[in-house]
A and B are shown apart, each in its own frame.
Chain A
Amino acid sequence: MERFQFTKAHSVSEAIGIAAQSTTAQQGAPVRFLAGGTTLVDLMKLNVERPTRLVDINHLELNKIERTSDGGLRIGALVRNATLAHDEAVVRDYRVLSEALLSGASAQLRNVATTGGNLLQRTRCMYFRDTAMACNKREPGSGCSAIAGENRALAILGTSPQCIATNPSDMNVALAALEATVHVQGARGTRAIAFQDFHLLPGDTPHRETALEPGDLVTHVTLPPPRAGATSRYLKLRDRASYEFALASAAVVVEVAGGRFRYARLAMGGVGTKPWRMTAAEQALTGAAVDEGTIKQAAALALRDARPQSENGFKVELAQRCLTHALRLATGMATV
């Protein structure tokens, strides 16, 4: 860890003002907001993140969960993962989000990790985290060690020749399926970013992970009103039972009537370089009969574009099984 200046921001505008002096809000940013710190401090200890200035935002008034006027939910950026997961409205109306949060990290981490921080969680690619290894995400232009290396846990969707790192967040997968909106306040005012536009594909700039610019502070996330009659589930597959990132996970929100899917929103984790919406599969499901054949076809369609690496070919099959089973659970075709 290198020396840094620590500032406690007294207002959102003060925090933004300090951060706006930064050259970037992406990898290598000299100014970082400190919320739960579960990713940032970890990466600072590894010398992967070397901010010269930390702006502590923990006491800003961004920690409320409120109903929006349209019946949706507004979640402050500083709402802790544990609080959000156990919130009555979330448990009742957005089960997929509660399940996703509770499948992530450990109870201790969830007690401190925040909504905004989880949105910005960095990849767990082993090469990103080890400064002795080449990594385009950490050091642009240095190369990707993972492509010819130990890539079992890495992405099969949205990869580029420069980066195959997976977005590790469970929460993000649920927010993708719920079509959340990320609200940002920056030097030039506020803006709302559709969830699917918030995270970027690596392409030739894997060090750029989000739509954030210097000074941008995520203030809250909004969820659309819960859809009447819909059920939602999160299924996470991994090697051990707890405290591990997903090899494949699926967030599904579906509405079934008359034996047919009337509505489907599907997203997957553990397989993509960003939280991955399965729009083709959503379209295939909508209007189709709820049966084993339909969901298997949809799952196959969802992984149609998968490009496995040397050690993660199994993820193509595993991800299909994951999505299929999540749909079984959401439609009552399976109970465990």
Chain B
Amino acid sequence: MLGGKLPRIDGPLKVSGRAVYTSDVSLAGMLYAVPVRSTIAKGRIVSIDAAAARKLPGVRAVYYRGNLKPFFRSAPPQGFSGLIDEKRPPFEDDEVRYYGQYVAVAVAQTMEQATAAAAAVRVRYTTDAHNVDRHLVAAKPLETESQRGDADAAFKSAPVQVDQTYVTPDEVHNPIELHATVAAWDGDSVTLYETSQAVMNHREVLRQMLGVPKENVRVVSHFLGSGFGGKLWPWTHSILAAGVAREVGVPVKLVVTRQSMFEAVGHRPRTQQRFRIGASRDGTLQSIHHEYLNQTSVLDDYKEECGESTPFLYSVPNLRVASALSRANVGTPTAMRGPGAVPGLFAMESAMDELAIALKMDPIELRRRNEPKLDESSKLPFSSRHLLECMQVGAEKFGWARRDPRVGAMKRDGLTVGWGMAACAWGAMRDNAQASVEIRRDGTAQVKTATQDIGTGTYTVLAIVTSEATGIPVDRIDVQLGDTALPPGPISGGSWATASVIPAVSSAARAAVQALLGMATSGPSAPFKGAKPDDLQLVNGRVSRKSDPSAGVPLGDVLARANVRAATGSGQSSTTIGGEESRKYSLHSFGAQFAEVTWQPETARLRVSRFVSVIDAGRMINPKPARNQIEGAVVMGIGMALFEEARYDKRYGAPINSNLADYIVSTNADAPPIDVTFLDYPDKVLNELGARGVGEIGLAGTAAAITAAVHHATGVRVRELPVRIEDLLRA
């Protein structure tokens, strides 16, 4: 089963519409809340006139600062608990700091009525000059994040130099499922049905902001119509829904609009990265100097860690990574698939490609010559690094040897063909997790942990792991996730949910089996009385002596004879942060991305026509959804490279293309054949099965591989994403 190709066990529920997503939750007497969005980006609210709105049909109430019980702020987080990016609770003051900030909320019997009421609320403002400038300016002097040697001096004396600035735009997660909250109070306790990638964290933040004890908040998120990081931490609509529901005394549903998805639930911030590389004529790197800014909001310090991969990806004696924030009147940014590394690697791998061209060297050869023996920033060995093999396998699959490096030299079917490649990396980590497994009389098992399946296949992976440990077939295993009533589980982010939860579930499953075998050997009616549990085994739902597998007893009989409902076990995993592994090893996944574009110069038409991705991310527990993750990330990477950008109207300060027709993402027609290979080297440092996550790494390096291919085809080097037709008309 491990390493097999099991379809998602939740697939039938999803394709038949029986999977209940958050906005599907419908409770008796439920009202709908629709926020009123500010139509200025900076200023103060002078007055709010809700008289007309209150008179509309079905309207129950309109709330704003002054008539809704205030919320508390959440205290600074501890580890991965208590995290929230936009920290200001709704209605805390009369200041407007970004376009679309919630200034009031209408509550009515139907969503249409609440929408009409929200539109009828008249808000007067005094406006101040806002800043949504595309050019980023550091709010404070840059701070050094990583340094060795003398990057400046080594760059100046290097015979070959690249010094360029790369820009990535404000990108919006845009999962198809809108953010939503359904809040239902029962006395002083509230249940929140949430679109959440982290129910435990959500509970911690909400209980603080609502000012109620932890046990009074339950957060449920059974299925997610994807999140891409945007649903990791709570946003203001969730607090608003809970507060409004407390006020009106009946359940309240709040579904964020697509327009608000661009304003008030985070985005990947704009980055501006100066990248300098100095090298010897033989390609040996002498200096890397990475200075970057990322945009954040006025109140919150969201940091896009663009320098995450820079210090360890290549061997270089002199290095400096430094950064600062740039403030603007935009909603608070947040983590988006591969935060930091994805925009960072666009800069770094583009600069490497430009260096290879300056050196007249094959870009794979350049990287091969600078392969480090260890992580030169931490001086630790890599737990498992096979980047060279990724590039070698990728080159073979792609046919890289046939590449003619001259711009525009390769043709096929009347089109110009361009090829490009990039390396990539993403951190490997494990977080704390607890799980319980119950083996029941009917021969089924139930697994419980409060992590989430955000569409990545966690339900299926945990069924496989439990099956592996218990011998109970996957179709007899019930996996329960996404509920704070379950044993605490990790966030579904950072690609570490799988690695984190596997040890907990495996040990819980083994503990449950041990409990069962213990019952088989002791007690008045035990079938193997006198035997040692270690002499027994559980195979295909039957307990037998290892020495005599044919004489087995169904596990249900064992439980029945002991008069026990179920055999249970619990297990836990510990975080790698500050742990022994991270003091001994540099923990990362690696990969190589190869892109082919076709280019029609006459019409400036560019398409990605082929993609090869080779990933070194430990052992694949279930390669089918893992491949799906890489394919999806590559499709997203095509969007990052060629399409996606939230455009702010400089006069209004509004993200003006806040819909899916004007903010374009890849369609099926833009998705080429994608060849995914996993090297499948187990990383046993991380867990016993050697598994790491693959949710993010497929997006890392992808845009750089595509823009390298664009350059190869057209001669145009695009350093500010996305690549646009107007850039290519220069070719």
| Interface residues in chain A, defined as those with a beta carbon under 8 Å from any beta carbon in chain B | 1-3, 47, 124, 126-127, 129-133, 145, 148-150, 153, 235, 237, 239-245, 247, 314, 317-318, 321-322, 324-325, 328, 334-336
Within 8 A of A (CB), among B653-676: 654, 656-657, 659, 661-662, 664, 666-670
Could you list 29 examples of A-B contacts with CB < 8 Å? A1-B112, A1-B116, A124-B661, A131-B119, A132-B652, A133-B654, A145-B649, A145-B651, A150-B649, A235-B603, A237-B725, A239-B642, A239-B724, A240-B643, A240-B664, A240-B666, A240-B669, A242-B668, A242-B669, A242-B670, A243-B667, A245-B661, A247-B725, A324-B602, A334-B602, A335-B414, A336-B413, A336-B415, A336-B600
Q: Which residues does chain A contribute within 8 Å of B729, judged by CB atoms? A: 314, 317-318
A296 to B467, CA, bound (A): 68
The 3 closest A-B pairs by CB, nearest first: A242-B669, A314-B726, A241-B669
A109 → chain B closest CB, angstroms: 11
Q: Which residues does chain B contribute within 8 Å of A324, judged by CB atoms? A: 602
Q: Which residues does chain A contribute within 8 Å of B414, judged by CB atoms? A: 334-336
Chain A residue at minimum C-beta to C-beta distance from B668: A242
Is the Cβ of B654 less than 8 Å from the Cβ of A132?
A: yes
Is the Cβ of A314 less than 8 Å from the Cβ of B652?
A: no
Is the Cβ of A149 less than 8 Å from the Cβ of B112?
A: no
CB of B647 within 8 Å of the partner chain: yes
B421 → chain A closest CB, angstroms: 23
Q: Which residues does chain A contribute within 8 Å of B649, judged by CB atoms? A: 145, 149-150
A325 → chain B closest CB, angstroms: 5
Main secondary structure of the interface of A (DSSP, over half): loop
Contact of B667 among A145, A150, A237, A240 (CB under 8 A): A240
Is the Cβ of B605 less than 8 Å from the Cβ of A237?
A: yes
A149 to B662, CA, bound (A): 14
A21 → chain B closest CB, angstroms: 24
Within 8 A of A (CB), among B616-667: 642-643, 647, 649, 651-652, 654, 656-657, 659, 661-662, 664, 666-667
CB of B39 within 8 Å of the partner chain: yes
CB of B57 within 8 Å of the partner chain: yes
Is the Cβ of A241 less than 8 Å from the Cβ of B607?
A: yes
B723 → chain A closest CB, angstroms: 9
Interface size class of B (residues with CB under 8 A): 35 or more
Within 8 A of A (CB), among B713-731: 724-726, 729
Chain A residue at minimum C-beta to C-beta distance from B648: A150
CB of B410 within 8 Å of the partner chain: no
B130 → chain A closest CB, angstroms: 15
CB of B573 within 8 Å of the partner chain: no
B673 → chain A closest CB, angstroms: 14
A148 to B670, CA, bound (A): 32
A325 to B39, CA, bound (A): 44
Is the Cβ of A2 less than 8 Å from the Cβ of B602?
A: no
A153 to B603, CA, bound (A): 17
A126 to B413, CA, bound (A): 38
A103 → chain B closest CB, angstroms: 11
Q: Which residues does chain B contribute within 8 Å of A317, judged by CB atoms? A: 729
Is the Cβ of A2 less than 8 Å from the Cβ of B116?
A: yes
Given A126-B662, A150-B649, also A239-B643 (CB < 8 A): yes
Chain A residue at minimum C-beta to C-beta distance from B601: A321
Q: Which residues does chain B contribute within 8 Å of A241, judged by CB atoms? A: 607, 667, 669-670
Q: Which residues does chain B contribute within 8 Å of A237, judged by CB atoms? A: 603-605, 725
Given A240-B642, A241-B667, also A148-B651 (CB < 8 A): yes
17 extra interchain contacts, Cβ-Cβ under 8 A, other than A126-B657, A129-B659, A237-B725?
A: A1-B112, A2-B116, A3-B57, A124-B662, A130-B656, A148-B651, A149-B656, A150-B647, A237-B604, A240-B667, A243-B667, A244-B661, A244-B664, A321-B602, A325-B603, A334-B414, A336-B600
Is the Cβ of B604 less than 8 Å from the Cβ of A321?
A: yes
Chain A residue at minimum C-beta to C-beta distance from B664: A240
